[in-house]
Amino acid sequence: MFLSCPTVLSAKKIFDKAKSILTIHKMCEARDYLITLVSLKTGTRPGALENLKLQEYFNANTDPTTNHKVLLVPQHKRQNDGPAPLSLDDELQELFNIYIHEIHPQFPLPRGATIFLRSDGTSFQHGCISKRLPEFWKKSNVRPDIRV
């Protein structure tokens, strides 16, 4: 139901057209979809996504069994336990590639070092990215009675 709702279908179209120049609104819609999908598929906490840096994406190792990228995020809530692993399946890997190579460079300069940026191109402040997932979920109108 979630994957076929108009909000998700609109975001998927943005990824399909990412090679063209996008509005800030479209870039943020794509960003919020990717944040939501990563959180739902991997269970990754928002803080790890908030601190995920481009360099960590480019330095990611590949799991020899699945051939999927595994990103290690050193800055997160439980960083004393080591970096938070973020394993990308085929769909997430494809969306990340599009986002990083086509959408991210369109955010305004100067850009923050993180992958997920605010509409002004800066990195999210501590605790702010966690608002993106419930907002996207609410827009999807799938079970609006539940806060995700």
Tell me: pLDDT of 80 over 80: no
**Is-above-0.85 flag for pTM?**
yes
Instruction: Show the 3-state SS of the chain.
Output: CHHHCHHHHHHHHHHHCCCCCCCHHHHHHHHHHHHHHHHHHHCCCHHHHHCCEHHHHHCCEECCCCCCEEEEECCCCCHHHCCEEEECCHHHHHHHHHHHHHHHHHCCCCCCCECCECCCCCECCCCCHHHHHHHHHHHHCCCCCCCC
Task: Kindly state the average pLDDT of the residues 134-146.
Answer: 76
Per-residue pLDDT reduced to its tens digit, 3-30: 888 999 999 999 999 999 999 999 999 9
Task: Kindly state the average pLDDT of the residues 120-143.
Answer: 81
Per-residue pLDDT reduced to its tens digit, 26-63: 999 999 999 989 988 888 777 788 889 999 999 999 99
